[in-house]
Structure 1
């Protein structure tokens, strides 16, 4: 009979071990079962980028549906109890833990349960659905985006990467990194040159380093309140957001159901060959962050352990050979991006070779290995449409370069805006384009606050005006429909419907016309942004004076003026603005009932 191999945990270590064992051992020799609580692996390596770029978030969820060959089995569930030759698994259904349990028999059991970190850096142990994870990431993103100052607690690789991403994305924010050790990444086998270069890379990007000092009390979760800390060395730090990037702990709970003495704070006790350190259980192994093995607690090391154990178990099952110790490289490999343009690296050859921006940018800065991981999982990266990228990355532009917008771009934008939907296809609005310097100067006299400068500086202004007497459009609408060959029934009832919906007779027409006009204005904004041109939507102006300057008849009302131009990033130090949590905005069935599917499906 085939040997039953059960692997608990579908992260970097467990999934790669399952893949390699299933490939090395045919179905008549061994059957591999992978137990994982999610239908995806969480790509926590990329979390630093997701905290500053929402378009990256879908890349964190690598689907498991194609990761294993057909003769291997994926079980969605939580391992609850281990016995000598079987394991009890409680199933997960639709992202919720169920009442159903399954007993899986095993000849070999490998635990790859990983470690825990303050969410959303890693997924909480009691979180089973994607929507909760994405909501946590979105909340952290929004809090960081809204903050003026951020404290990163922990100078390991994760803390350095997060500090670098924030500092290089939001140039106006004060980022401080605190660590109780006197050097960065203190627990890794890295050269003094690496640490010196890493510190220099962070400080050159605006990160303030406070090393050798600790907080007065240990934080275990991120905090989004303005707080002042008096550090152990006397330094005072006041920040709006505190991100905990320290305090990683191995996930050992499952082994304690077999014997509480098999785990300690450093992890599940193993022998040098990754075998459980107890002669009673020679068929149980532990790989990755969950064990107390001396190997580095990194995804790279987890992958190396998976490769090692797959080869070793294959030889043991086929030929009965013993398993030698797993010996990690004498020099640790490490790549730490500090933003998108570079970072520092140590390569594990010749006693440790240092590399800088060019290698890190090429190898890791682009996508934090997302492409490589998705490929290993035999999955296709989600393709973010251009519109998604524009919508997630858009910000209001308050300073413009003295560069004109090409007429071909303007032509395309206007034709795109023309396709905006409207009630009954009535299109009850007009748009006045202002480009002439004298006309802009005149228009600036009607603007309020800081808007006059923007009007004079922007190469193009779009003034949207809503038609408050839409019935006057009927002759043109009839003609348009006749020329297009529209069903005559449309024109027959158009006047009646327009009177009913438009509200011209009962004084609700302004709200109706504004709704139609703002749909067109929003279409205009995204059409402009699609050409790399920035926008500022302005509502502060003297509307009667504005209409007088532009010669707009009294039957129209102006809701917005949109300034357009190429951003002057030397003067713009802010990023996209924060958004309310999805639970405040999207409901299911009735008001107040959170729509769980908002964040549960993969964006397309």
Structure 2
């Protein structure tokens, strides 16, 4: 195990959560010490490519990357139900216990499809069936309503309007501008709005859906979406792209006094859970950057925590986390989109297509996992 101190080589790091942050952490540490990556699913879910899978036939087979070929016996499929910080162990739903020297919590968020899959879907073949069923539902629908103008809602509207030009798409957003969280400029938000409207997407700003609980979320029946402003929109298919919640089920009891108002773990400047020296929180479940959850910020969390685990093992001073500069790239389908880099630079279709929209980093994530992306999508 090259590139590590002898002190770290003797340690066991347990990582709970195999999403973007968790797998990046596992990949950083797997040659430096013993690791165990725990996740309920059998595969890494490349959610960045998930919206493309709703409109491109066969793409769903590319967005699930199996853990086993990458991690072998270092991967444990299961759900963590409790954590004992005194005994330094995590307990799985099966009753199995796994001891740790360092614990990294990367449990992410939960929410409605297509932003997230249901907890019960742990088999990638079943997950692919879910995507394929919605591919068919989109093809069959004439009127589609998307609730929520954050990144998922905006990108979904862009994907459908680009590939399925015969669909009437209405995006309903409770705020006055798209993607309102984060330090994004009015120019960026305006170009997103114009980009969607140019593709024929109708946007209802400052409208809140008033009958959300009554709407079928599975496309099983045509329905009427009602808003607090009196608008009514007929829909064959409704996508709910709001309401992401922190997935705190693994740690809510063990760290009940260390959660913020949305269930994220409060961390210190070194990204350790408050009051702990050997437990870290990264990605969406960390209170750092909690108002603007983005993969590139989670990658910075990983860099800092991986370094701090080694520094702690060597009994050296830890490194404080510093947030990276603002950056966001929002595809509006495969042909382009809008990006903001830094506090003011806004780019359009050409840069966004090259940077993200064309490939959605799918092949890169297969490569990150040490695997080759399949060429056969059937």
TM-score (norm 1): 0.58
Given the alignment of the two structures, is residue 227 of structure 1 paired with residue 223 of structure 2, yes or no? yes
Superposition deviation, residue 8 in structure 1: 0.6
RMSD, aligned α-carbons: 1.9
2:3 aligns to what? none
Query: 1:201-600 to 2 correspondence within 5 Å?
Result: 201-219=195-213, 222-224=217-219, 225-263=221-259, 264-277=261-274, 279=275, 281-295=276-290, 296-324=292-320, 326-329=321-324, 331-348=325-342, 351-384=343-376
Q: How far apart, in 2, do the equivalents of 1:39 and 1:236 lie?
A: 41
> Does the aligned pair in 2 maintain the 1:250–1:291 contact within 8 Å?
no
Superposition deviation, residue 319 in structure 1: 3.7
> Does the aligned pair in 1 maintain the 2:216–2:223 contact within 8 Å?
no
The equivalent position to 2:40 in structure 1, one of 17, 29, 37, is 37
Do the aligned partners of residues 190 and 35 (structure 1) sit closer, same or farther apart at CA in structure 2, a change above 3 Å counting?
A: same
Superposition deviation, residue 33 in structure 1: 1.4
Q: How far apart, in 2, do the equivalents of 1:129 and 1:161 lie?
A: 26
Do the aligned partners of residues 283 and 238 (structure 1) sit closer, same or farther apart at CA in structure 2, a change above 3 Å counting?
A: same
> Does the aligned pair in 2 maintain the 1:3–1:107 contact within 8 Å?
yes
> Does the aligned pair in 1 maintain the 2:113–2:240 contact within 8 Å?
no
Deviations 1:436-490 (A, max 9, x none): xxxxxxxxxxxxxxxxxxxxxxxxxxxxxxxxxxxxxxxxxxxxxxxxxxxxxxx
1:200 aligns to what? 194
Superposition deviation, residue 152 in structure 1: 0.5
Rg larger for: 1
Do the aligned partners of residues 313 and 221 (structure 1) sit closer, same or farther apart at CA in structure 2, a change above 3 Å counting?
A: farther
The equivalent position to 1:133 in structure 2, one of 110, 127, 133, is 127
1:20 aligns to what? 28
Superposition deviation, residue 106 in structure 1: 1.1
Q: How far apart, in 1, do the equivalents of 2:174 and 2:157 lie?
A: 16
Deviations 1:316-375 (A, max 9, x none): 212432342x2212x421111111211101113xx3311110011112122211011111
> Does the aligned pair in 2 maintain the 1:120–1:136 contact within 8 Å?
no
Q: Secondary structure at the match of 2:304?
A: helix
Superposition deviation, residue 39 in structure 1: 2.7
Q: Secondary structure at the match of 1:233?
A: coil
Q: How far apart, in 1, do the equivalents of 2:218 and 2:246 lie?
A: 23
1:75 aligns to what? 76
Instruction: Tell me which protein shows more helix as a share of its residues.
Output: 1
2:62 aligns to what? 59
Given the alignment of the two structures, is residue 6 of structure 1 paired with residue 23 of structure 2, yes or no? no
> Does the aligned pair in 2 maintain the 1:176–1:210 contact within 8 Å?
yes
Q: Secondary structure at the match of 1:166?
A: helix
Q: How far apart, in 1, do the equivalents of 2:97 and 2:226 lie?
A: 52
Superposition deviation, residue 125 in structure 1: 2.0
Q: Secondary structure at the match of 2:96?
A: strand
Given the alignment of the two structures, is residue 176 of structure 1 paired with residue 170 of structure 2, yes or no? yes
1:591 aligns to what? none
Deviations 1:80-123 (A, max 9, x none): 21001111124xxxxxxxxx432111121111011112134322
Q: How far apart, in 1, do the equivalents of 2:232 and 2:270 lie?
A: 47
Aligned pairs, number: 364
TM-score (norm 2): 0.91
Given the alignment of the two structures, is residue 48 of structure 1 paired with residue 40 of structure 2, yes or no? no
Q: Which has the higher contact order (CA 8 A, sep 6+)?
A: 2
Unaligned stretches of 5+ residues in structure 1: 91-99, 389-602
Query: 1:118-197 to 2 correspondence within 5 Å?
Result: 118-197=112-191
Q: How far apart, in 1, do the equivalents of 2:119 and 2:268 lie?
A: 26
Q: Secondary structure at the match of 2:78?
A: strand
Deviations 1:277-334 (A, max 9, x none): 2x2x32111111112222531122212211221122222212432342x2212x4211
Do the aligned partners of residues 252 and 221 (structure 1) sit closer, same or farther apart at CA in structure 2, a change above 3 Å counting?
A: farther
1:511 aligns to what? none
Q: How far apart, in 2, do the equivalents of 1:282 and 1:381 lie?
A: 39
> Does the aligned pair in 2 maintain the 1:39–1:64 contact within 8 Å?
yes
